[in-house]
Structure 1
Amino acid sequence: MKDLKTAILLFLAFTIICGGIYPAVVTGIAQVAFPAQANGSFITDESGTETGSRLIGQPFSASQYFWPRPSATTGFAYNPLASGGSNYGPTNPVYLKTVGDRVK
């Protein structure tokens, strides 16, 4: 019975520490040190409406970066208002033409 009581107390203690105190401390530090990044680096328009994030769908041009899947959005590549993939396979002629046109 003594072992069961110890196990339950340790379970509760670690649940409170790891599930409550630690996340609260890390969130607090992030909010103070990096408020924009901690809140998602949102982009807002003139009216103050959040339209996307600076961290999602960035166009890459330098070879040192990992290039994401080609964007299939309308208007311009990596449009955060209409983000999505094309779902074309890597051998699809439309996909190959689109990627080939973007590489040029």
Structure 2
Amino acid sequence: MGEALHSGPIEHLSNKMEKPLLDDRLYRVMELPNHLKVLLIHDPDNDKTAAAMDVNVGSFSDPDDVPGTAHAVEHFCFMGTKKVSYRYTDILNTQQRTKEQILISIA
């Protein structure tokens, strides 16, 4: 029925990340066969799994004649999915985190 668009090995790029001394999480950078770079983070103190995607596109990329396109696409991405529990989103949105979130740009 469906054929994979890209096939091939996943390339392991790095295990080394610049991070704070108290950060005991493990990091790994991979590149998928479609050239998408992925940052995997393992936190031995956390029993939750999460995923995020940074596409480096936003409202500045909206066409002048169609403002709000990026925001609309953000909502379309989650149409038909199960609702995330409010308790979990509240935890994510609190300012009192035990570890700093690290944003790493993979260029």
Determine which structure has the larger strand proportion and give its number: 2
Q: Which has the higher contact order (CA 8 A, sep 6+)?
A: 2
Determine which structure has the larger helix proportion and give its number: 1
TM-score range, shorter chain: under 0.3
TM-score (norm 2): 0.20
Which of structures 1 and 2 has the bigger CA Rg?
A: 1
